[in-house]
Amino acid sequence: MNLTVAEIAEISEGMIVGADSRATVSGFDFDSRVQRSGAGFVALIDGRDGHDYVSAALERGAAVALVSRIPEGVDGPLVVVEDPLRALGRIAKFARSSMADASVVAVAGSAGKTSTKDLIFSSVSRRFKSHANSASFNNEFGLPVTILDAPVGTEVLVLEMGERFLGDLSYLCDIAAPNIGVITHVGLAHSGNLGGRAGIIDVLSELLVALPNDGLAVLNSECSATQTLLERSAAPVLTVGYAPDADVRISNASLDEQLRPTFSLHTPWGNLDSVRLQLLGEHQVVNAAMAAAAALYLGASTEDVALGLSSALAAHWRMELSHSPAGVAVLNDSYNASPKAMEAALTTFARLPAGRRIAVLGAMHELGDESRAEHARIGALAATLDIDEIVVVESELSEPLVAAAEASGARVARVANPEAAFSLISESLKSGDAVLLKASRVVGLERVADLLLGADG
């Protein structure tokens, strides 16, 4: 959306400094390294102080910078506001209100958000002019940027929403005003911040409460928290799952040798038969079914949805299956990890045809009081699967995983870091072997994938 500097200042209650009030601004960026010419720059304070990068952003062509103070040596173009992050939210809320005819689909949950968002976008974009978050732009600065980047005439806006603290979804919904809410799953991701499972249900309920009475909530009937969520929805609910009474029912699900699921759907809008996904793992079937429910409700045809689901590709570092020059299969699921996602990755990996299977694992962060028990549960699970060796990046959090796996009879190796994991496993890897990489993002297991896929064997 294009706005003038004067409009930005009015919406954000800011003061123009050294800028032409008639100049237009096409969206906003918050990373000066990828600043787009003609877009604005938001000086966020998030670990680093964005005010230190205003000059660099302006040199790269930023039309204006949204700041809370005037940086030394910069005399404009600026809009000075009390809080750049909150100002960005107000600007995005204005942009959303200007898209009155657009439908907004919000996707939240403890796992599967990005995949479900991508599946919805792929399904609706065949019929409607659509826009969605880039990667995981799902927080208080990524979501407003996504809304402001929506092209003129957007009919469907698909927004992934992240939740780390109570109030997060209320804030994002106030900006985005969703018509449809999709909750993928209630697990334990960020439970340390949210106060356990009850707190996770509370924060996800913020999305359901924000829906209009004539909107729609799409809920996963395979999740034990769904009945509680259903009672909190302000909008009608569609349930999705394998149960005979699910509104959108899954049947005939199976995996091929490359871990791609095939399944059929029975919906109020007609049936979808033998849909094959490019995304890997049986857990993606429910994500796809929830995406189908949202897309069909919006008016996409069953043919559009079947084609959309079958053409969606995996996001970076999320169940990416590649093969090294030495013929080793690398299943890179290193973007992040929660207990549910870890379980899905391990059980899926155990079904991948391979000579030897090696799982390189690390800690799951932000689980709070559930951390020890959940790491131990995952360790015990890994020991029961058809996995030849488990390699764990050592930390205080991951120790219960190691102990439980060893107690259950698994062969476990401890390493200090991702590079040490690569050194250890590369000594014995042969063509036809397979490696899984799974841990929370801060562990950095993507470095193992880079080393494996860059090796010449």
Among the residues of 168-300, which ranges form H helices? 168-176, 191-194, 196-210, 226-232, 284-298
Residue 148 in tokens: 């402001």
Query: Are residues 349 and 410 part of one domain?
Result: yes
CATH number at residue 196: 3.40.1190.10
Query: Are residues 117 and 218 part of one domain?
Result: yes
292-314: pLDDT as tens digits:
999 999 999 999 999 999 999 98
Cα angle: 443, vertex 448, 452; to 5 degrees? 170
Distance CA 88, CA 90 (A): 5
pTM of the model: 0.89
Cα angle: 240, vertex 206, 191; to 5 degrees? 85
Q: Identify whether the C-beta of residue 286 lies closer than 8 Å to the C-beta of residue 220.
A: yes
Q: Identify whether the C-beta of residue 152 lies closer than 8 Å to the C-beta of residue 95.
A: no
Q: What is the per-residue pLDDT for 353?
A: 94
Distance CA 287, CA 347 (A): 17
Peptide bond into 339 cis (omega under 30): no
Q: What is the per-residue pLDDT for 190?
A: 55
How many CB atoms lie under 10 A from the CB of residue 52? 13
Query: Are residues 69 and 132 part of one domain?
Result: no
CATH number at residue 413: 3.90.190.20
Q: Considering the chain, what percentage of its residues have pLDDT values greater than 90?
A: 86
Strands 320-323 and 270-276: unpaired
From residue 335, give the alpha-carbon distance in Å to each of 144, 178, 315, 341, 393: 22, 27, 9, 11, 15
CATH number at residue 34: 3.40.1390.10
349-355: long-range contacts, CB 8 A cutoff, minimum separation 24: 349/385, 349/387, 349/434, 349/436, 350/385, 350/386, 350/387, 351/255, 351/259, 352/257, 352/259, 352/321, 352/434, 353/257, 354/329, 354/432, 354/433, 354/434, 355/430, 355/431, 355/432, 355/433, 355/434
Q: The domain containing residue 200 runs over which residues?
A: 99-311
Query: Are residues 377 and 245 part of one domain?
Result: no
**Which of the residues in the chain have pLDDT under 70?**
188-195, 455-457
Distance CA 107, CA 397 (A): 29
Number of domains within the chain? 3
Q: What is the per-residue pLDDT for 265?
A: 98
Distance CA 334, CA 352 (A): 17
Query: Are residues 23 and 113 part of one domain?
Result: no
Q: Phi/psi at 145 (nearest 5 deg)?
A: -60, -40
Q: What is the per-residue pLDDT for 457?
A: 39
Q: What is the per-residue pLDDT for 192?
A: 58
Query: Are residues 178 and 61 part of one domain?
Result: no
Query: Are residues 106 and 74 part of one domain?
Result: no
Distance CA 429, CA 436 (A): 13
Q: What is the per-residue pLDDT for 387?
A: 96
Query: Are residues 414 and 288 part of one domain?
Result: no
From residue 169, give the alpha-carbon distance in Å to each of 24, 125, 161, 209, 429: 30, 25, 7, 10, 45
How many CB atoms lie under 10 A from the CB of residue 192? 17
The DSSP code for 360 is E
Query: Are residues 301 and 399 part of one domain?
Result: no
How many CB atoms lie under 10 A from the CB of residue 311? 13
Q: What is the per-residue pLDDT for 456?
A: 38
